[in-house]
Amino acid sequence: MSDEVKSKSNSFMEKVLKFMEEKLAPTLGKFAQNKIVKTITNGMMGVIGVLVIGSFFLLIYVFGSNYLPFLKPLGPAALNGYQLTLGIVGLFVAASISGAYAKEYELDLVQTMLIGVGAFLLLTSKVEDGKIAIGNLGSSAMFTAIICSLVSGAIMKFCKDKKIYIRMPAGVPPAIEATFAFLVSGTIVFTLMWIVKSVLNIDVITAVVAIFAPLFSAAENIWVYTFRWIVGEVLWIVGIHPESIIDAITGPATTQWIAENAEAALAGAPIPHIWTPGLDRITVIVSSCYSLLYLMFRSKLKEMKALATASLLPVLFTIAEPLLFGIPIVFNPYLSLPWVLSIGAAAFANWGLTAIGLVPKWIVLLPWMTPAPFQAFLGTGGDLRGLILVVVDFLIGLAIYYPFWKMYEKSLLEKEKEKASEA
Amino acid sequence: MKILLVCQAGMSTSLLVEKMRENASSDIVIDATNVGEFHSKINDYDVILIGPQLRYRKAEYEKLSNEMGKPLAFIDPMMYGRLMGKEVLDEAIELVGKK
């Protein structure tokens, strides 16, 4: 590229980046600050621990059934472990969202969570023969759990604000006072849910699923997926962490989808969803960071080699910040474009390869920082074909980065030469 | 002196925390936390440093800093990415001094 062309494209990039920082960032900031958004985000984050541990039970079951015979006897027990964790994820979501609501709106934490859990049970379940169906507490009830907890919390907050509670005389211990303080609002919440399900027998879960299903199935395609990643990464290169905002929207959906995939895998049914948290973890790190590290290690620039060494372990655990801010990639006219393109291309390829059946779908939720190769192998239930994505993404990243990296390297080498000649 | 670093998950800042601890005297406490937890911890620390990727929350955090009377700053992106522990530590100490 001639110097003139380069400087024109640089200033264009700078203008775009400046616009994003000054106009887009504050708007996103406001969105992220929104109390309901925060409640849902924090609430969903709260259940991840339970989901991941539940996934380990699923892994034991899958490996026991297919690969490691010595684990097979543990199968039924592992299944039980899975069912009581991932299998009733709705219940945990109800607790977690209620808790997040309490923290956000300054209600008593324990009371809000207890009433939220009770409300969810009353809204979704009926006791027959001393049993309740766990199907009503699982992934299909996840959105019901979110809505139920928000409603329950809102009623409690309303009562607190309007001072609708039974007052206790001074000298009563705070814990007892707290219970009585929420007696009225709790009664309202429970009665409401009781009327809906136990009295009127309305199937809320099916209704909620019916309302949201078209929205989600519309979103579940390769174009939305690629778009989500391109937009997300454009935000990164202006130094905004997109996960907190985008995940607030996609998180509940992808969590539900991986839970549904797990259920399908156990039932021996075809696995429904491509878009899962595990796929996201591969998309975000391999094409952009693995390939860049490779180029950095082979660079003549000592600085880059050193940075690559320092960043190796974080990148392995899916932390890209040392590269994003260290090279830096953010606000870097040479590297910001390939960053976005490599991840966008990886998103497109990953979805496509999964859709044509070359690569398996994810059925297990692993901790988000699980290194990509392990994510690809364990997350798919021990299917080595998952590693195809890692290889493909690495090659895509390498192909896209190479020309830009060479230009960037050249500019740095020239700067070094200039400094040396000035000295 | 107690310094709190905040980022999205508490992971990337914990790398920086290690580097800072190497350069800090024994009477300085340095911890990392994530975005969800930091509101509840802010009272226990003298200065708060936020990861640059949370810059879009600048207005919200500046308000929080004023309300709580705690100095708060965003870590410089380069220093953050290159894990320049000593430089970030010096900045934190300077911020507390200015108060």
- pLDDT given for residue A3 in this prediction: 54
Exactly one of B4, B5, B7, B84 is catalytic; which is it? B7
Which residues of B touch chain A, with CB atoms under 8 Å apart? 7-9, 11-12, 15, 35-36, 51-60, 77-78, 80-83
Of A33, A240, A321, the CB nearest to B81: A321
Catalytic residue status for B73: no
**Does ipTM top 0.85?**
no
Number of H helices and E strands in chain B, helices first, is 5, 4
Does the distance separating the beta carbons of B83 and A310 come in below 8 Å?
Answer: yes
Query: What number is the average pLDDT over the span A217-244?
Result: 84
Task: List, for residues A54-104, the tens digit of each pLDDT value.
Answer: 989 988 988 888 888 888 888 899 999 999 998 899 999 999 999 999 999
Tell if the CB–CB gap between A322 and B77 is shorter than 8 Å: no
pLDDT in tens, B25-68: 888 999 988 877 787 888 899 999 998 878 777 888 888 888 88
Q: How far apart are CA A294 and CA A216, in angstroms?
A: 37
* pLDDT band at residue A403 under the 50/70/90 scheme: very high
Which one, of A149, A27, A147, lies nearest residue A100 by Cα?
Answer: A149
Which residue blocks in A67-105 are alpha helix, DSSP H? 75-83, 89-105
Nearest CA in chain B to A28: B56
Interface contact flag, B56 A317, Cβ < 8 Å: no
- What is residue B69's predicted lDDT score, i.e. its pLDDT? 87
Q: Which of B11, B56, B80 sits opposite A369 (nearest CB)?
A: B11
The 8-class DSSP code of residue A4 comes to: H
Q: How far is A50 from chain B (nearest CA, A)?
A: 17
Beta-ladder partners of B2: B29
The alpha carbon of residue B67 is apart from the nearest alpha carbon of chain A, in Å, by: 17
Hey, what amino acid is at A323? Answer: L
Q: Is residue A53 within 8 Å of residue A156, measured between CB atoms? A: no
Rg of chain A over all Cα atoms, to the nearest angstrom: 25
A150 or A422: whose pLDDT is higher?
A150
Confidence of residue A368 (pLDDT cuts 50, 70, 90): confident
Number of CB atoms found within 10 A of residue A283's CB: 29
Which residue in A26, A319, A322 is closest to B56 by CB distance? A26
Closest chain B residue to the Cα of A30, Cα to Cα? B57
What is chain B's mean pLDDT, rounded? 85
Mean pLDDT for A300-316 is 91
* Cβ distance of A325 and B55 shorter than 8 Å: no
The C-alpha of B57 sits at a distance from chain A's nearest C-alpha, in angstroms, of 5
Query: What confidence tens digit (pLDDT) does each residue in B9-21 have?
Result: 667 788 888 889 9
Of the ranges A243-247, A277-281, B4-8, the best mean pLDDT one: A277-281
A130: left (phi over 0), alpha (psi -120 to 50) or beta: left
Mapping DSSP to helix (H, G, I), strand (E, B) and coil, where does residue A241 land? coil
CA A93, A99, A100, A101 dihedral sign is: positive
Task: Identify the pLDDT of residue A333.
Answer: 84
> Tens of pLDDT along A128-180?
999 999 989 998 899 999 999 999 999 999 988 887 777 777 777 877 776 67
Does A45 sit within 8 Å of B77, measured CB to CB? no
Distances (CA, A) of A132 to A85, A121, A127, A135, A360: 16, 10, 5, 9, 34
Treating both helix axes as pointing N-terminal to C-terminal, what angle do A243-267 and A142-161 enclose, rounded to 10 degrees?
A: 130
Query: Between chains, do A321 and B80 touch, taking CB under 8 Å as contact?
Result: yes
How far is residue A41's CA from residue A58's CA, in Å, rounded to a whole number? 25
CB count, 10 Å around CB of A211?
11
Q: DSSP H helical segments within A268-370, as ranges? A: 277-285, 291-297, 302-316, 321-326, 336-355
B47-50: strand order across its sheet: B29-34, B2-7, B47-50, B72-74
Confidence band (pLDDT; 50, 70, 90) for A34? confident
pLDDT-based confidence at A1, cuts 50/70/90?
A: very low
CA dihedral angle for residue B65, residue B71, residue B73, residue B79, rounded to 10 degrees: -150
A-chain residues near B12 (CB < 8 A)? 314, 319, 321-322
pLDDT in tens, A320-367: 888 988 888 887 888 989 999 999 999 999 999 999 999 999 999 998
